[in-house]
Amino acid sequence: MSHQLDETDIKILNHLQKHGRAQRNTIADIVHLSVPSVSERMRKLEEKGLISSYNAVLDSKKFNFDITAFIFVEVDGSERYPSFVEHVSEHPEVLECHSITGDGSHILKVRTKNTESFEKFLSLVQSWDGVSRTRSNIVLSSFKETRELPIERTVETKK
């Protein structure tokens, strides 16, 4: 299903991507609408699933999560995927999990306190039933990390 977005919706979405805590009166000033009109538009964007949540982005370093790593995981068979996904869901170190093509079947983005805790977590992943191989990369520095999307007028949504 596709949804047409007008310039006002696009402005609202772009502002919310940068300022998730923005007050509705601030957004109303930006898009030149009343607060109730902005609230209604935001409600509709949420109902359509175009806005899935509002989150605070925390600075991982300030919470002593000094290691960011990507773990390529090879799971030996699709019958083991549900168990693998369950394990991944149980561990807060895993920030993202994606099924991939190429080397491995999944890639995990993880954050841990230090190399010792990363090593323990990696050993844990390697012990999960069906995990036949892992390859990991530790991030040295990050120049860009965002979830902001370049918004277009037509949005395809799946129900």
Q: What band does 159 get if pLDDT is binned at 50, 70 and 90?
A: low
Distances, alpha carbon 72 to alpha carbons 9, 43, 158, 159, in Å:
38, 38, 28, 30
Look at the pTM and tell me if it is higher than 0.95: no
Q: How far apart are CA 131 and CA 105, in angstroms?
A: 10
Domain spans in the chain, listed from the N-terminal domain onward: 2-56, 60-138
> What is the per-residue pLDDT for 133?
96
> What is the per-residue pLDDT for 56?
85
Q: Are strands 106-112 and 67-75 parallel, antiparallel or unpaired?
A: antiparallel
| Residue 73, H or E segment | strand 67-75
Q: Give the mean model confidence (pLDDT) for residues 59-67.
A: 95
In CATH, the architecture of 2-56 is Orthogonal Bundle (1.10)
Q: Give the Cα-Cα-Cα angle 95, 84, 102 (nearest 5 degrees).
A: 80
CB 133 within 8 A of CB 76: no
pLDDT in tens, 131-158: 999 999 999 999 999 888 998 766 666 5
pLDDT in tens, 17-55: 999 889 999 999 999 999 999 999 999 999 999 999 988
Q: What band does 3 get if pLDDT is binned at 50, 70 and 90?
A: confident
> What is the per-residue pLDDT for 78?
85
User: What dotted CATH number matches 60-138?
Assistant: 3.30.70.920
